[in-house]
Amino acid sequence: MAVDPRIVELELALLKAPTRSDPDFLDAVLDDSMIEFGKSGYEYDKRSILATLTASTDEPAPNDHLEMTDIRAVQLAPEVMLPTYRLRPRAENAVASLRSSVWKHRDGDWRLVFHQGTRAASPGS
């Protein structure tokens, strides 16, 4: 099944400047019940994500430094999608990750309910 192009746009916007650290954007996109299992091994909720991303001094990735590949989607319910993909940072020595999210379509907008990032195995391993 094809992923709604708007979900792909939102996934990338959550990773890139300037939207990644924009509190208004994050508040609008992240569902109040949002949970994330980060590739760091930590669990985050909406409040902690907002606090972390808006206070971060780390620079978000520029538009040309991330690539989503192997994008797939499963429709879990009429208004609920599960996209999965591989995220490949183009920076030297950067680690790729496998990503999955649950998006809920409500009031005409997609809202992120769940996200997980897992370190991807190196090619050939």
Q: Is pLDDT above 60 for 125?
A: no
pLDDT single digits (tens) 68-100: 999 999 999 999 999 999 998 877 777 889 999
User: For the chain, where are the alpha helices, taking DSSP H only?
Assistant: 5-13, 23-29, 46-55
The pair of structure tokens assigned to 72 is 């797939």
Q: What's the predicted TM-score (pTM) here?
A: 0.87
Instruction: Write out pLDDT tens, residues 14-73.
Output: 988 888 889 999 999 999 999 999 878 899 999 999 998 888 777 666 556 788 999 999
* Nearest one of 120, 124, 72, 68 to 98, comparing CA atoms: 120
pLDDT tens-digit profile of 98-121?
999 999 999 999 999 999 999 888
- The CATH number of 5-119 is 3.10.450.50
